[in-house]
Structure 1
Amino acid sequence: MGTEERAAGVFSVEQPLWRAVTAFRLLTLLYAVGRYAGNAHHYSHPAAAWAYMAVLTVWTFATVRVFSTKARCGWWWLWADLALVVVGILLTRSFDQAASVDANDVTLPTVRAAATVLGFAVMGGWRPAALAGLLVGLANIGERGRVTSSNAHNIVLLMLAGVAIGYVVELARASEQTLARALEIQAVTRERERLARDIHDGVLQVLAMVQRRGAEVGGEAAEIGRMAGEQEIALRALIAEGLVPNPSYEAPRRPLHRPEPGEPQDLRALLTPLAGSRVTVSAPGTPVLLPGRAATELSAAVGAAVDNVRKHAGEQAHTWILVEDEPDEVVVSVRDDGPGFAWERLGEAEQEGRLGVSQSIRGRLRDLGGSAEISSAAGQGTEVELRVPRQRVERGSTK
């Protein structure tokens, strides 16, 4: 593992590819030098050709460290390498005999050009590799003076290899980013679990004890115990959902953020702030997603139902909110243990101009294409069941 990798503490999937580029450059250079040594006798200017091969050799060995990592190798180094290869291809016609050139003799750099295309592929993906392969191919056509079946075949193979390798590099880079994100989430989750254990073993137990002792002592201690109980609920919600609930029962129920109509919103995030010492919110462990407007209106209807419990059942009444995420609809039930009411009281309240139930609850659900069912009996508490069908909501959100 290289210095950069050890410093970062991670392993890059690209690093082995850069090592492959370095090894391929050296191997193809040795092949090019050996191939020229075997054919030097029919060159018109062998001394000039040997001079070019010496320059190519010095350049390749001098840049071994540069081409060993992406951090050291920039685009200018790649373009310089490509320029040296292209110049060698074009000089072949000047140094070699015309008959040998016409007979499809190999160029001076020969397969060393493929190492240059490989460098472009590893650095930038398939598009830069295709461009580099095209430039090498045009140089081969210029060296031959025409398009032949041999150089056309070589160009196609070179570009296909460059594009394929570049595409694989892009996939590897995307996979590395996904893996890094997954490892980050895993680390955050483990840290959160550790903090949750510490909070549970310490803070939550202390708050629970303060709540019990305050209730036993009474007076001002009871108020302190009530506040401790609210803070315990807030911390438990934070640990369970990663959300910040509002521990005050008297706080406004409306969410501060109003999503765009088509923006998916987790209904749990909007209902969790309703939790308090007398309000219990139960929801699935996975997000309950609805379009922004539907989630906001549904949570507002639930908030109105909770407000009704506080106003009509008293401060000591307990409220339970249950969220059910069904395949075809989302169902939210709001149940309390208050005194309840006679059914005819709803009609009388509407005639008197109190439209909390008819507008704040039923009106919102009606606009969403859903329904609000209210059941109550004297001495048996009240239950409000809110249903929002997914198909209607999603169709309406696309308008």
Structure 2
Amino acid sequence: MPSSPPGGFEVPLWRSVAVFRFASLAYVGILVLRDADRYAHPLAAGAVLLVMLAWSGVTAVGYARPAHRGWPLLLADLGVVLLILAATPWVVGRPALAAGVPTLAVAWLAGPVLAWAVSGGRRRGTVAALLVGGADLASRGRIGQSSLTGVILLLLAGVVVGHVARLAVTAEERLQRAVELEAATRERERLARDIHDSVLQVLALVQRRGAHLDGEAGELARLAGQQEAALRALIGGAGPPPPVDPAGDAVDLRTLLGRYASTAVQVATPATPVPLPAPAARELAAATAAALDNVARHADGRAWVLVEDEGATVTVSVRDAGPGIPEGRLVEAARQGRLGVAQSILGRIADLGGEVRIVSTPGEGTEIELVLPRRDG
């Protein structure tokens, strides 16, 4: 599915603004021809009409290019309309305006209001409508119900068109994200097929051929089986990277910890997401990985990971059935400069304001609890 170009949904809106300018200018031309004999300076009215025609062409070309839709053109657009409104009392004449003759700009003055609304949404459209509407009222000889109605219509146009423009931008961004996600999913499926046809089959063969062997060959077969299970879990259910919450930059801890599941490591998580700020979630996952590494080094590699979301705190428990940690062993390891537990686990959680609880009985295994409090903001 091809992705839409940047600003693709806004292009029809800008074209509509250009069409409106020329259509409203045609209406202005008809009124000028009809009321020219009542103007104080009819020739000046013709000159103003030519200026409006030229400026309509400039804005049509300028707004057609995304790079030119910035403040210089927007302010110039508004300034041209305000100058025409300021010249109206002299060109038309106060007596003619008081008699009900329309101003020179008439509906053409809504052009910058629409342009500001498309470029910046409701607020920007409202500001432009108030400025143009105020200048229009100031240029008239008398303020009646029709003139007030014109200002109200300008405000409504600024609000409604601005709202539609923002909806178009939001829809385009969501479509772009959907297209990128679809492309990433297809790429993952292609890689999964390639891995299944090559790497997974080799790992499965090594595991089957070496399962009955002893020594290093048997250990190699066991590791091959673990990697096969981990790869199958990754390509089968991991999906794209952990979803990010734009409001809080949060990720689902379940997705990060699910990567460690294998034939030797069982990971149990809640059925609902466990959102955490991205830095905290990554550090907690890294501490869990360090704990599992210790299990692989000092126990038989089999471990159970349990995630508990208690609202105010999130607890990750890593349990094994290994020989346990002798009393004083952690202190002795730190004294010898072996800081795996002290830095990789205790240090990470302490930096996050959490707590690590280690319960170990020789011969009965070890349980490490990583407790992380949730903090507002």
TM-score, with structure 2 as normaliser:
0.71
Q: Which residue of 1 aligns with 2:35?
A: 39
Deviation string, structure 1 residues 182-215 (Cα, Å, up to 9, x no partner):
3322321232233223212321121121222234
Deviation string, structure 1 residues 78-101 (Cα, Å, up to 9, x no partner):
433333332322222212243211
Q: Equivalent residues in 2 for 1:370-389 (5 A)?
A: none
Q: Which residue of 1 aligns with 2:127?
A: 131
Q: Structure 1 CA distance, aligned partners of 2:36 and 2:99?
A: 15
Q: Structure 2 CA distance, aligned partners of 1:77 and 1:177?
A: 25
Shift of 1:118: 0.8
Asked if the contact 1:306/1:319 (under 8 Å) is kept, the reply is no
Q: Structure 2 CA distance, aligned partners of 1:130 and 1:143?
A: 20
Count of equivalent residues = 353
Q: Which residue of 1 aligns with 2:305?
A: 321
Q: Structure 1 CA distance, aligned partners of 2:281 and 2:122?
A: 44
Q: Structure 2 CA distance, aligned partners of 1:165 and 1:325?
A: 45
Structure 2 residues without counterparts, runs of 5 or longer: 242-247, 332-341
Asked if the contact 1:32/1:112 (under 8 Å) is kept, the reply is yes
Deviation string, structure 1 residues 268-322 (Cα, Å, up to 9, x no partner):
46645755663333446764335787996798589669857964xx53x633334
Asked if the contact 1:270/1:299 (under 8 Å) is kept, the reply is no
Query: Is residue 199 of structure 1 aligned with residue 183 of structure 2?
Result: no
Q: Structure 1 CA distance, aligned partners of 2:53 and 2:291?
A: 80
Cα gap change, 1:124 to 1:189, in 2 (>3 Å)? same
Match of 1:289 among 275, 283, 295: 275
- Percent of aligned pairs with the same residue? 42
Of 299-308 and 65-74, deviating more is 299-308
Shift of 1:173: 1.5
Q: Please tell me the residue identity of whatever aligns with 1:288.
A: V
Cα gap change, 1:203 to 1:306, in 2 (>3 Å)? closer
Q: Structure 2 CA distance, aligned partners of 1:7 and 1:307?
A: 47
Secondary structure of the structure 2 residue equivalent to 1:107: coil
Q: Equivalent residues in 2 for 1:156-305 (5 A)?
A: 156-216=152-212, 221-239=217-235, 240-241=237-238, 266-268=252-254, 271=257, 278-283=264-269, 287-289=273-275
Q: Structure 2 CA distance, aligned partners of 1:74 and 1:305?
A: 55
Q: Please tell me the residue identity of whatever aligns with 2:51.
A: V
Asked if the contact 1:19/1:69 (under 8 Å) is kept, the reply is no
Cα gap change, 1:331 to 1:152, in 2 (>3 Å)? same
Match of 1:76 among 72, 79, 86: 72
Q: Which residue of 1 aligns with 2:21?
A: 25
Deviation string, structure 1 residues 133-168 (Cα, Å, up to 9, x no partner):
233233323323676554344323313321332233
Q: Which residue of 2 aligns with 1:254?
A: none
Asked if the contact 1:267/1:299 (under 8 Å) is kept, the reply is no
Query: Is residue 103 of structure 1 aligned with residue 99 of structure 2?
Result: yes
Deviation string, structure 1 residues 192-244 (Cα, Å, up to 9, x no partner):
23322321232112112122223446565445434433443443454343699
Q: Structure 1 CA distance, aligned partners of 2:229 and 2:4?
A: 40
User: Which structure is larger by alpha-carbon Rg, 1 or 2?
Assistant: 1
Q: Structure 2 CA distance, aligned partners of 1:275 and 1:382?
A: 19
Q: Which residue of 2 aligns with 1:3?
A: none
Q: Structure 2 CA distance, aligned partners of 1:200 and 1:158?
A: 63
Asked if the contact 2:305/2:318 (under 8 Å) is kept, the reply is yes
Structure 1 residues without counterparts, runs of 5 or longer: 1-5, 245-261
Asked if the contact 1:133/1:162 (under 8 Å) is kept, the reply is yes
Q: Structure 2 CA distance, aligned partners of 1:16 and 1:168?
A: 12
Secondary structure of the structure 2 residue equivalent to 1:64: helix
Q: Structure 1 CA distance, aligned partners of 2:160 and 2:69?
A: 21
Secondary structure of the structure 2 residue equivalent to 1:123: helix
Shift of 1:119: 1.4
Secondary structure of the structure 2 residue equivalent to 1:108: coil
Q: Please tell me the residue identity of whatever aligns with 2:304.
A: W
Secondary structure of the structure 1 residue equivalent to 2:304: strand
Alpha-carbon RMSD across the aligned residues, in angstroms, is 4.6
